[in-house]
Amino acid sequence: MAGDATEEQPQPFDAKRLDSAKRRKHSDSPIANGGSSSNRGNSRGDDSHNRNGKKPSLHDEGEYPQPFDAKKLEPAKKRQRSTSPSDAPRRQKRPGQRARISNSEAASIRQRAEQREREAAASIGAAVAQGGGPGGLRGINEIVREHYNAVPERGRDWRKTGSRIKGLRVFNNWVKSTLIQKFSPDEDHTPGAHERGRDMAGERGHELLVLDIGCGKGGDLGKWQQAPHRVQLYVGLDPADVSIDQAKERFRSMGSHGGGGRGGRGGHRGGRQQQHLFDGRFYAKDCFGESIGDIDVIQQVGFDPTPMGRSGFDIVSMMFCMHYAFESEEKARMMLQNVSSSLKKGGRFLGCIPNSDVIGDRVTKFNERAAAKKKKSESTEEAAPSTEEKEEGEAEDTAEWGNELYRVRFPGKTPEDGIFRPPFGWKYSFFLDEAVEEVPEYVVPWEAFRAIAEDYNLELQYHQSFRDIWETEKDDHILGPLSERMGVRERGRGPLLVSPEEMEVANFYVAFCFYKV
Ligand SMILES: C[S@@+](CC[C@H](N)C(=O)[O-])C[C@H]1O[C@@H](n2cnc3c(N)ncnc32)[C@H](O)[C@@H]1O
């Protein structure tokens, strides 16, 4: 998959550019130029020609993300002790300049995405039919990638009005915003930091470096734009290349709307609205089967597997995607190695995953019912032997549940006590109306995951079911009004606009936050 990462991506690090960056140190930081990547060199980096063999015009320069220059972080940090950059008048780019794209370029990106969507849709059925497991012809990765590539991007208006699961969509988005609002402020979690007054949450000028693993179509870009601390760099990784193209497109269109996201929400603490759009990079990459340390921008920010790593991202986010890593211990460990190596010490690892307690309860109940049924049929059979023998090879009932919106189905036997041992490879298929078509996922047994995370210096800070998050945060002075603006409930602390069926799906998930110690 490493090859995928190179398509339409920033070119190799250019030392000449670094020199000029150093010379610019005091005047032209990424902050001072509005965080834009567009004036950091030409769009394709390697030479002065674009894809059509033409010399790029100045206009072209804004079209593609440029290599991230970690050295440029230095001036920003230094300035924290003197004048805050936010005190100085910001040299804003003209809104839309970085993201402007020619009509023909936009049309060709769209055409390529549509073509790939058609191809992926044609093969997804066949891939699922082949099972995808060790016995299947295709690996889980390919099935998952093809599935997400084939999910059409229907646009925000449809999601807000036409979708049958719009209540669930807004609720899940509110939970993700809540996580971002609660845990993205940069705090020094090392022992004694508070006493030493080194809690950085209050320091001005510190900007976040965010890595979004399994970023999909970039659905969380706007949430990061509204984070309580300004984001300097957002890197999105996902193996689904069509999704990555759509994420790039979304990012470009955010830029063309002035970089302010949808605006109006402001940050959690202080009601700040971000004016500038952060620097965004997107790569097609399998983050569970291989190291992400070969991606330039990851190296430039810092990729250190040792617990001493002082550089790295402030946040690694993994929303609704980690369950794909629990196919095997090898993958789960590779995923954690990637997370931990990318994080700086004190950085946070945020995410949401299916709730193994909910799954365990359902499975236990299913097995109890199955045992009772078996016992009953054995006793009636003793009295009057049944003629209805199970045919040889006929499938036993397996654990399955859901409602009109979602369905979870285990293909094989499940543990009687609902505790998944060993903690890897417990495959089930998940269907969600309009969103996920019977895609294989894996149980993430919470306690096992938490214990393994400790091997990677990740310590648990927060773990809550979606329902509990609602109960705890719905009256928060920021998150409560945010839920109203997002359409989770009616204005004036009115009723929840999420149906009980949608809430049942939402409560299939838990959110978490770890920090790197
Ligand atoms: C349900 S979507 C979530 C997308 C996004 N995080 C969100 O919350 O809207 C799950 C994502 O996980 C991604 N994914 C699956 N396997 C992955 C892997 N090996 N590495 C990184 N991402 C993966 C899928 O391609 C898909 O985009």
> pLDDT tens digits for 283-331?
999 999 999 999 999 999 999 977 776 789 999 999 999 999 999 999 9
Q: What pLDDT shows up at residue 63?
A: 36
Q: Could you give the angle at which helices 103-129 and 241-256 cross, rounded to 10 degrees?
A: 150
CATH of 106-356+443-516, one of 3.40.250.10, 3.30.2320.20, 3.40.50.300, 3.40.50.150: 3.40.50.150
- Do the annotations mark residue 33 as ligand-binding? no
With 90 as the cut, is the pLDDT of residue 429 above it? yes
Which of 504, 398, 434, 384 is closest to 152 using CA atoms? 434
197: Cβ contacts below 8 Å, ≥ 6 apart: none
Per-residue pLDDT tens digits for 433-450: 887 777 889 999 999 999
Overall average pLDDT of the 455-463 stretch? 96
Alpha-helical runs (H) found in 296-355 = 296-301, 329-342
Show me where the domains of the chain are located. 106-356+443-516
Q: What pLDDT shows up at residue 433?
A: 87
Lowest-pLDDT range of 78-87, 120-129, 152-161? 78-87
Ligand 1 pocket check for 215: Cβ under 6 Å: yes
Say how many Å lie between the CA of residue 82 and the centre of ligand 1: 41
428: Cβ contacts below 8 Å, ≥ 6 apart: 359, 399, 408, 409, 410, 411, 440, 441, 442, 443
Q: What pLDDT shows up at residue 447?
A: 97
Q: What pLDDT shows up at residue 150?
A: 74
pTM score over 0.95: no
**Tokens at 90, concatenated:** 């910001």
Check residue 265 and report its DSSP letter: S
Task: Report the residue among 144, 174, 318, 444 best suited for mutation to probe ligand 1: largest number of ligand atoms under 8 A from its CB.
Answer: 144
- Do the annotations mark residue 173 as ligand-binding? yes
Q: Which residues of 135-149 are buried (b: 16+ CB within 10 A; e: fewer)?
A: ebebebbbbbbbbbb
Ligand 1 pocket check for 151: Cβ under 6 Å: no
Say how many Å lie between the CA of residue 283 and the centre of ligand 1: 12
With 70 as the cut, is the pLDDT of residue 25 above it? no
Torsion sign over Cα 295, 301, 304, 305: negative
Q: Give me the percent of the chain exceeding a pLDDT of 90.
A: 51
201/359: higher pLDDT: 359
Check residue 105 and report its DSSP letter: H
Burial of 3 (0-12, 13-18, 19+ CB in 10 A): exposed
> Among the ranges 65-79, 181-195, 364-378, 483-497, which has the highest mean pLDDT value?
483-497
Which of 504, 345, 326 is closest to 422 using CA atoms? 326
Per-residue pLDDT tens digits for 140-159: 678 787 777 777 666 666 55
Say how many Å lie between the CA of residue 87 and the centre of ligand 1: 39
Lowest-pLDDT range of 80-84, 160-164, 392-396, 437-441? 80-84
Q: What ligand 1 atom has the least distance to the C-alpha of 325?
A: 19
Which of 188, 178, 185 is closest to 223 using CA atoms? 178
With 90 as the cut, is the pLDDT of residue 8 above it? no
Torsion sign over Cα 321, 475, 498, 506: positive
Lowest-pLDDT range of 121-125, 211-215, 366-370, 433-437? 121-125
Ligand 1 pocket check for 63: Cβ under 6 Å: no
Say how many Å lie between the CA of residue 144 and the centre of ligand 1: 8
Which of 44, 38, 40 is closest to 94 using CA atoms? 38
**Tokens at 460, concatenated:** 């648990």
Task: Report the residue among 116, 286, 321 best suited for mutation to probe ligand 1: largest number of ligand atoms under 8 A from its CB.
Answer: 321
H or E, element range at 319:
strand 313-319
- Tokens 């998150």 label which residue? 479
Q: Which residue is closest in CA terms to ligand 1's atom 14? A: 214
Question: Rg of the chain's alpha carbons, rounded to an integer?
Answer: 24
Overall average pLDDT of the 207-229 stretch? 95
How far, rounded to the nearest angstrom, does the alpha carbon of residue 466 sit from its chain's CA centroid? 17
